[in-house]
Amino acid sequence: MAIANYEGDDDINLEKPCFGFHFVSSMPSDLDAHSRPRKMPRISSSPVISERRERKANEEEHQSDTVNYLPDECLFEIFRRLPGSKERTKSACVCKKWLFLLSGIRPSDAVQRKILPNLNADGVGDEEEDDEGEVDQSHSRILEGKQATDIQLAAIAVGNSSRGGLGDLLIRGSNSYGNPTCGITDRGLSAVAHACPSLRILSMWNVPLVTDISLSEIAGGCPILEKLDLTQCPLISEKGLIAVARKCRNLTSLKVQSCANIHNEGLHAIGLCCQKLNCLIIKDCPRVGDLGVSSLMASASSSLQKVKLEGLNISDISCAFVGRHGKGVSDLTLSGLQNVSKSEIRITAKSLSLQNLNSITVTSCSGVTDLALESIGKCCPSLKHLPFHRSFHLSDSGLRAVTETSRTLESLQLEGCSRITLNSVSLSSLDTNTNYQSLASAKCSEIKDFDPSLHPSCTHLTSLTIHACPDLTSDSLALVANICPKLEHIDLSGLVGLTDNGLLPFIEGSGDRLVKVNLSYCVDLTDAAIEALVKAHGRTLKLLNLDGCKKLTDKSLVAISVSCSRLKELDMSRCQISDIGIAVLASARHLHLKVLTLRSCSQVTEKSFPLLCKMAHPLGVLNLVLQADCYPRD
């Protein structure tokens, strides 16, 4: 029956929709209704129902995580009453909030609870007591790049607080990965200050977000700090350094580099309070002047042994204080001090306080002249090492004076000294000095020929470096070998004009005791020179560097494989060697190589990998780069 013809007595309910039409609320069971089915429209719940559901969800969440709704003070009181280190470590893994709360608990804040032994279980109580009372040695941790974050630092602090503590902490931050705010901040460093009172060494490089606040907390929480290294910390000022000086009286080493906010007051406080300071390095700090350096030298003069002043705006006053108060200084470095005059360096050297000086390094100081160098030789009787870099006013007379007067000199290094000649380097006085063992000359343009009649045999010299001296001839090199018959270490790297005719006489005149040979970037050497070298010195040779000798082929590898039984390090980068030469080298059963470097060897392929892995004596280090080098050599 159709709906239109229905004559029942039931009322029609217009409030109840069904399939898009209004039907009667109660139809007879025998009603024959025909209608096209349609989709039920979506009916959104009312705002009242949505609010009830949200309230119910919040209540369930509140009931499941009630502890996090407690104030931090309450959680702190709970955490400091945890019975042992395992419980604290496990709790720190729950969330970041708990981690930082636990890292803020000092050892003195923790409530010590005595664990009673379980008498029903044999040995259980002893194990628990030993586990809680166990104290290992302090640990060392290094955080670099992306790993240098507050979370990582807090985790290290909590994890090591109950295992002997954290002894050494080295942070190498970097903002090259994007957002610098992801690095170490005061929050992470404060965690170390609270949880690791055993910290002895703290080194921070490139941490732009650390301020005086956390450094002061380190000073208060780590009173036994001994070594502090602050490099590229722009927000650290003299306030943090003063806090360290007042609370870390055991400080023995201080390095401050590229910290623009470090002033003289911080160094003055270090000198007054840290009487055990024996190492001081200040580099590229524009606000450090004569007042800071002089006051520190005057206060901590009795303990200082190593002093390095580089790139500072200091004058003759600071050098005068170094010379007059550096009673125990044995290692002195002056670099980039353009405001220091030659007269003051002479006064510094003549001071009777530098009697213990055995090494002085001078780099790019305009005040270094021949008279200053002569004063250094006369007034420093214990001088052993004398490196000079980019000293353009230094000449042969000054070098001759210092070598004649300093009888304890063991090594001489010259780099970029354009007025030094080979006649002064190979002085006749070297033969009378039995301590003289090492001579290095690099980028000295006047190192050329010399008269061999002026230079007798130097029988004590064992190490010789002549690097990047383009005008040195083959004849002069052969004469050097004749007057130095006991050479063991030879470095001729960067002599682009060196040929087989120049090296072969040197090999013949140098005896049979060479141990380390560096011929890198001697581009004109061939296989014949290397074959002669390993044939004469193969039994003693331990290091051979042939990087950049582009004319060398597999013949050199074959000769090395046959003759060098004690070779430990070999560098054949950028040479014309192939898989065949590598196969011969790998098959040498008497070879004991530990380090092999094969960079940018175009003819070496992956076929050499299995051969190198099957060597009779396994390699310790393999440096292998098949593609061409993207970076040119300086």
Token pair listed for 401: 């004076």
To the nearest 10 degrees (0 to 180), the angle between helices 342-350 and 370-379 is: 10
Residue 306: how many other CB atoms lie within 10 Å = 16
Q: Indicate the residue type of 555.
A: K
Cβ-based burial of 620 (10 A; exposed 0-12, middle 13-18, buried ≥19): exposed
Low-confidence ranges of the chain (pLDDT < 50): 1-35, 123-136, 176-181, 343-344, 346-347, 352, 428-429, 628-634
Return the closest-CA partner of residue 406 out of 439, 442, 373, 444.
373
- pLDDT of the residue at 227: 96
Q: Indicate the residue type of 95.
A: C
Residue 462: how many other CB atoms lie within 10 Å = 17
Inter-residue contact 564 to 548 (CB < 8 Å): no
Inter-residue contact 359 to 335 (CB < 8 Å): no
Inter-residue contact 203 to 229 (CB < 8 Å): yes
Find how far residue 521's CA is from the centre of its chain: 28
Inter-residue contact 6 to 31 (CB < 8 Å): yes
Alpha carbon distances (Å) from 554 to 561, 576, 581, 591: 10, 7, 5, 17
Inter-residue contact 541 to 570 (CB < 8 Å): no
- Arch. (CATH architecture) of 488-634: Alpha-Beta Horseshoe (3.80)
- pLDDT of the residue at 134: 42
Residue 342: how many other CB atoms lie within 10 Å = 17
Outline where 145-254 has alpha helix (H).
150-161, 186-195, 212-221, 238-247
Inter-residue contact 463 to 488 (CB < 8 Å): yes
- The residues pairing with 174 across neighbouring beta strands, listed in sequence order, are none
- pLDDT of the residue at 26: 42
**pLDDT tens per residue, range 492-525:** 999 888 889 888 888 887 777 899 999 999 999 9
- pLDDT of the residue at 584: 93
The domain limits of the chain are 1-39, 488-634
Number of residues written out for the chain: 634
Contacts 24+ apart (CB under 8 A), 118-122: none
- The rounded distance, in Å, linking the Cα atoms of 314 and 295 is 13
Return the closest-CA partner of residue 304 out of 354, 240, 377, 243.
354
Q: Which residue has tokens 């006649």?
A: 423
**pLDDT tens per residue, range 49-84:** 666 666 666 655 555 556 667 776 677 676 677 776
Vertex 66 angle, CA 65 and 70, to 5°: 125
Token pair listed for 408: 């304890």
Inter-residue contact 335 to 367 (CB < 8 Å): no
